Structure 1
Amino acid sequence: KSGFIAEDKSIRLNPYQLLAYRTIGLDRENAQKVGLEQQYDAYLKGTTGKRLVRSIGGGVSVPVDESYEIEPENGKDIITTLDIHIQEISENALMKMMLQNQAEYGCAIVMEVKTGKIKAIANLGRRNDSAYWENLNYALSPTEPGSTFKLATIMAVLEDKKATLNTPVNLEGGTWKVANRTVYDSETHGRYDVTLQQAFELSSNVGMAKLAMSYYSATPSKFLKHLETLGVTDKTGIDLAGEGKPIVYKPGSKYWSNATLPWMSFGYGLAITPLRTAMLYNAVANKGVMMKPYLVNSVVEDGTIIKQFVPQVVNERICSETTLKQLKVCLEGVCINGTAKRLFENAAYKAAGKTGTALVADGKFTYADKVYQSSFAGYFPAENPQYTIVVIIRNKPHAARFYGADVAGPVWKEIADRLYTLHVRESATKQYASLTANDSTPFTYAGAEQDVAYLNKHLQLYKNNTTSVQYAEWLQVQKQQGGVAASLLKYNEATVPNLIGLGLKDATYLCENLGMQVQVRGKGKVKEQSIAAGATIQKGTTITLILN
């Protein structure tokens, strides 16, 4: 045999580029795979084909006998839980703050409350050229959580009935000496006698340290038992390789000292992943039920689902109903009266969450470099939680802005604002504002019938009474002084269609199917077309579309 022999080679394409780049992962021939590419490689890689060949001169190999060939099999598809719109919202909101604050790295996680599905996971790290890229999965990297961990501390105290929300706590003006060290509150408040709830709302390190020392200094293992119940000492078990192991010291360890417990109470001296923090807050939002986070809905082969993944409960009850109600009051109080008050003053929804500001040192930087980790963890709407969001940002040394409410908080709120508008449904206690006057602005829209029908269902643009319109493939909707009307768009293969009002996707689809090439200028829907509607089509002709 002789002649030309073609060898196919497959490559992975990332059509969305930066979005979830690290989570989706990399499929590399000469290096370890990462992300979902690594985790689900057994499904994705398929089966390599085999062929019996013989070598001839010049290092060329030719097939010997086709009966010895084993045909390759395509890999299967995985359908993720990620929502491309939520991912883009999260990535953009995080990027905006990263650039503003010239931060070192950051991550944002969006989890669906009732299922544990990860709807978005954005990770941005600063490169040597000061640009940001999804270089590492920071959501799976353990760090000192700071004040967001105070939720675990008050849960332990309330669950053991050591105190109530009205139990008095002396904040000592924001400074307290214990175990030959000094605890400082990150924000100056000058407060002394407050309640437990107020201490939490003010994010007082002194308040949390006093609670831990008052109730657990003699039995620190009891406090740690609560952390085990919350899963803090274990990995989350998410279906993604590379998750770091949490660091939680225990009595008897060479790292345990008299200062470990009080510092642990406000999120220092231990390390957990942002994803673990998301699981904790999501459990409070989900009526005390802790869900396992996951990233893949199903595995599909030739359009058929061969493996389906379902939500998994890892802890049916993290605390009592009484404690849970008190935790919710505290988290809502932070957004109404506490450190996040200004952030949510004009919000269209009720939020529940906690700010965090932690001074960190991790080898590259020391505490003297004043590197702060800003965070915000919470859920919304508070009365009927749909999403849990956690934002963590590691700031540059000596950053001018570093408080959680000023850095991570705006990112959290921007994501929540967009999700509330796009996805969160009306509740009995909160209704969307209704229009009291008709829109008088003329408009023209056109598109595939199913797309136009979808919009009409939700926006009620026109009343559909004719069978010809109802079952048309393409429709045009126009608003004139006389009202809104839908009309059938008729296209044939011989003449150039009327593309005015169509979106770029639909216009390109029509033109290319008719054998024309498309050039585009502008953005939006088609305003003008270079070849008039009705002109005879010549295959290969280029038509220019002006969008606006």
Structure 2
Amino acid sequence: MEIKKDILWRAYLCFIGMALFAVAILARVFFIQHVEGNYWRSMSDSLHTTYMDLDADRGTIYSEEGRMLSTSIPYFDIRIDFKADGLLDKKGEVFKKNVDSLSIYLANLFRDRSAAAYKRLLQEGYKDKDRYFLLKKEIKFDEYQAVRSFPMFRLGRNKSGFIAETKNKRINPFKLLANRTIGLARENAQNVGLERTYNEQLNGVTGKRLMRRIAGGTYMPVEGYDIEPENGKDVITTLDVNMQDIAETALMNMMVQNEAQHGTCILMEVKTGKIKAIANLGRQKDGSYWEDMNYALQVGEPGSTFKLATMIAVLEDGFVTPNSIVDLNYGRWKVGRRTVYDSEPHHLTAVTVKKAFERSSNVGMAKLAYQYYYKTPNKFAEHFKRLHLDDKTGIDLVGEGRPVIKTTESRTWSATTLPWMAFGYEVLQSPLQTAMLYNAVANDGKMMRPYLVNAIMEYGKAVKEYQPVVLMDSICSSRTLGQLRDMLEGVVLNGTATKLQTPYYRIAGKTGTALVANGNRGYADKIYQSSFAGYFPADDPQYTCVVVIKNKPHAAKFYGGSVAGPVFREVADKLYALAVNKPRPVQGTPGLDTLMALKGGKGSEWKSIVETLQLPWQGTLTSSNWVSPDVTNKKLSFRSMQQAPGTVPDVKGMGLKDALYLLENAGLRVVIKGSGKVSMQSLPGGSRINKEQTIVIELS
């Protein structure tokens, strides 16, 4: 019996011990989960790290003269790590000592809440021991500079927990000017314009940043583990800001005056094909105008400006001369079941081909095409194809429309297609293609491909340059070319554009007035497209300009000579005074407003820069040597600039201060031209110095 009791007592004791152990385990689980849960979860999170993309600084787009057209500016998110060592030491002495003054500084700078409100905000973050506390979002650079000097933050990251995250925003400093052509780099939508075409060069190479996950599923950066991105390259365009402003203003004035739907104005340099300005304005819902679409690239029926191509065909084939006679039939001619009408009623019958062109007679052009190509219509179309009017221009912009030149194999070919093609209907062309054709006539028959970019630059040096491209050495014979130029001048002297005459220079060009269909309503709304294509000065063409404006329904003023013509004249007048009558020297290398350009200078100054910014470099930097910097294999490379006594220092690539110091110490008198860094010097480096010799340095 005693043995049984002894066994039961031991069994009960074991059971009670196991029960107490189980209760202890459950209590510990409860304590870990509910009391220490946040701590252990944060510890778990801290073991999870990942690399996240670190965006490179996007390159800048410049005008030809070196002015910023699109660039990135930094914005900063300011955060605080309230578990930083300095904030935990001595029971938070640093935080408690600085929170009042920091709150006052923040309130005075941002003026969005009181000092007391900032203090409560900071105290809440400190109480929660938030490791990634967001204090302020998207502050500007000058505000960031000020915040870094505030109480507590000036102690550095480890002592204050200060974290600054840099973000870049893309801006267009000139806003409306060429906005659609330049485009914008957008986060949530596809880029447009040059930002899209040259996205790869502008974007650079994305870097990596090691991020550690903290409580709440957010990530904070781990110091010292960044893979630095490679900054994007700069793009130098052919655009000229002054010319763009002239074109934009002239177009805007007419658009507002005529309440037009949309319009474009293209300015091309005759000899090269460079696009110097390209304005595109569309009417918005509130009645204002904005660069909403690149209308210069959109195809449509060009109307009478296409008559130049018709004249090239009939003159080249020898069917007519400018003095040949064509019957205008009082401005109306029936072809099958359709009737060709001239845009303005008249009483003309037998006139010369030249006069028919000057008066922009649809009947005259239609009769010429029908008479000479009725049996071989594809021969007529082949002329347009030879002129590249059936293909895109190849300009460096995405979204150029596909032109259409019909042949007898086309599905929509009909008995009236041939005569209607002759005056710019039943063909599709973009204003840019029209500009390319007229520019060829201005350029002694040589057709140039239009382009928008001169060079891709890295650290102020060209890594890729774009040159003018000749599409055709001659669009026609010299005889035909002379006849065409005479007829285009005749349009302004005796035809539909006489209001464009000026006593200071001659203009050559062609008006166009095309009736445009309005969807299912057809032509009932009487919407006209007004255009003018031409060049100036006619005796020595420098610029080709094409203006196309789509008017509102039933507009009181709609003829090409009275809507598009005045825009052309305003552009031509201002450019004649600015760039033609007083030609400016073309800079070989534009003086860019950029921090990416490297300048030669004193070795000790460069050493201070690379050590302060912790930049990788190679070479010799001392207080006694002068160096020329370059970038090699992602490192700054410095080459010592040797100067023998009594010789001219080589100061190319230097800033003005350093160049003056060296040249004047060498005993030279210095004449300065321009601003920026030295691009040319009249005396070559290393040459002997004569007594009281003068050197001219050009800066760009």
TM-score, structure 2 length as denominator?
Answer: 0.60
Q: Is the 8 A contact 2:238 2:275 kept in 1?
A: yes
Equivalent position of 1:437 in the other structure: none
Are 2:164 and 1:6 aligned?
yes
Are 2:506 and 1:350 aligned?
yes
Q: Mark the CA change 1:75 to 1:364 in structure 2 (over 3 Å): closer, same or farther.
A: farther
> How do residues 471-510 of structure 1 correspond to structure 2 at under 5 angstroms?
none
SS at match of 1:306: strand
SS at match of 2:532: strand
Are 2:404 and 1:250 aligned?
no
- The alpha-carbon deviation at position 197 of structure 1 amounts to 0.5
> How do residues 46-445 of structure 1 correspond to structure 2 at under 5 angstroms?
46-64=204-222, 66=224, 68-344=225-501, 346-363=502-519, 366-425=522-581
* 1:399-433 deviations in Å (ceiling 9; x for gaps): 00000000000000000000001111379xxxxxx
SS at match of 1:297: strand
Q: Is the 8 A contact 2:183 2:193 kept in 1?
A: yes
Equivalent position of 1:501 in the other structure: none
Amino acid at match of 1:379: Y
Alpha-carbon distance between aligned partners in 2 of 1:56 and 1:400, rounded to the nearest angstrom? 68
- The alpha-carbon deviation at position 64 of structure 1 amounts to 4.6
Q: Is the 8 A contact 2:328 2:361 kept in 1?
A: yes
SS at match of 2:482: helix
- The alpha-carbon deviation at position 317 of structure 1 amounts to 1.1
Alpha-carbon distance between aligned partners in 2 of 1:327 and 1:320, rounded to the nearest angstrom? 11
Aligned-CA RMSD value: 2.0
- The alpha-carbon deviation at position 468 of structure 1 amounts to 11
* 1:493-516 deviations in Å (ceiling 9; x for gaps): xxxxxxxxxxxxxxxxxxxxxxxx
Q: Mark the CA change 1:63 to 1:153 in structure 2 (over 3 Å): closer, same or farther.
A: same
TM-score, structure 1 length as denominator?
Answer: 0.77
Query: Residue 22 of structure 1: which of 151, 155, 180 is its match?
Result: 180
- The alpha-carbon deviation at position 6 of structure 1 amounts to 2.3
Q: Is the 8 A contact 1:170 1:194 kept in 2?
A: yes
Q: Is the 8 A contact 1:185 1:205 kept in 2?
A: yes
Alpha-carbon distance between aligned partners in 1 of 2:231 and 2:672, rounded to the nearest angstrom? 38
Q: Is the 8 A contact 2:171 2:184 kept in 1?
A: no
* 1:110-151 deviations in Å (ceiling 9; x for gaps): 000000000000000001111100000000000110000000
Query: Residue 197 of structure 2: which of 39, 52, 61 is its match?
Result: 39
Alpha-carbon distance between aligned partners in 1 of 2:473 and 2:519, rounded to the nearest angstrom? 39
Q: Is the 8 A contact 1:260 1:269 kept in 2?
A: yes
**Which of structures 1 and 2 has the larger relative contact order (alpha carbons within 8 angstroms, sep 6+)?**
1
Q: Which runs of 5+ in 2 are unaligned?
A: 1-82, 85-160, 584-667, 676-700
Q: Is the 8 A contact 1:98 1:105 kept in 2?
A: yes
- The alpha-carbon deviation at position 348 of structure 1 amounts to 1.4
Q: Is the 8 A contact 2:518 2:527 kept in 1?
A: no
SS at match of 1:379: strand
- The alpha-carbon deviation at position 469 of structure 1 amounts to 12
Q: Which runs of 5+ in 1 are unaligned?
A: 428-466, 475-548
Alpha-carbon distance between aligned partners in 1 of 2:179 and 2:187, rounded to the nearest angstrom? 18
Amino acid at match of 1:248: I
Alpha-carbon distance between aligned partners in 2 of 1:233 and 1:76, rounded to the nearest angstrom? 35
Alpha-carbon distance between aligned partners in 2 of 1:347 and 1:413, rounded to the nearest angstrom? 12
* 1:87-109 deviations in Å (ceiling 9; x for gaps): 00000000000011000000000
Q: Mark the CA change 1:471 to 1:360 in structure 2 (over 3 Å): closer, same or farther.
A: closer
Amino acid at match of 2:166: D
* 1:197-251 deviations in Å (ceiling 9; x for gaps): 0100010000000000001111011011100111110001000111111122221
Amino acid at match of 2:192: V
- The alpha-carbon deviation at position 472 of structure 1 amounts to 12
Alpha-carbon distance between aligned partners in 2 of 1:70 and 1:470, rounded to the nearest angstrom? 46
Equivalent position of 2:95 in the other structure: none
Alpha-carbon distance between aligned partners in 1 of 2:248 and 2:454, rounded to the nearest angstrom? 22
SS at match of 2:519: coil
Q: Is the 8 A contact 2:303 2:424 kept in 1?
A: yes
- The alpha-carbon deviation at position 28 of structure 1 amounts to 0.5
Alpha-carbon distance between aligned partners in 1 of 2:238 and 2:671, rounded to the nearest angstrom? 34
Alpha-carbon distance between aligned partners in 2 of 1:312 and 1:305, rounded to the nearest angstrom? 19
SS at match of 1:356: strand
Alpha-carbon distance between aligned partners in 2 of 1:357 and 1:108, rounded to the nearest angstrom? 16
Alpha-carbon distance between aligned partners in 2 of 1:285 and 1:472, rounded to the nearest angstrom? 34
Q: Is the 8 A contact 1:174 1:185 kept in 2?
A: yes
Alpha-carbon distance between aligned partners in 2 of 1:469 and 1:377, rounded to the nearest angstrom? 48
Amino acid at match of 2:470: V
- The alpha-carbon deviation at position 364 of structure 1 amounts to 6.9
Alpha-carbon distance between aligned partners in 1 of 2:317 and 2:328, rounded to the nearest angstrom? 22
Percent same amino acid at aligned positions? 61
Q: Is the 8 A contact 1:365 1:371 kept in 2?
A: no
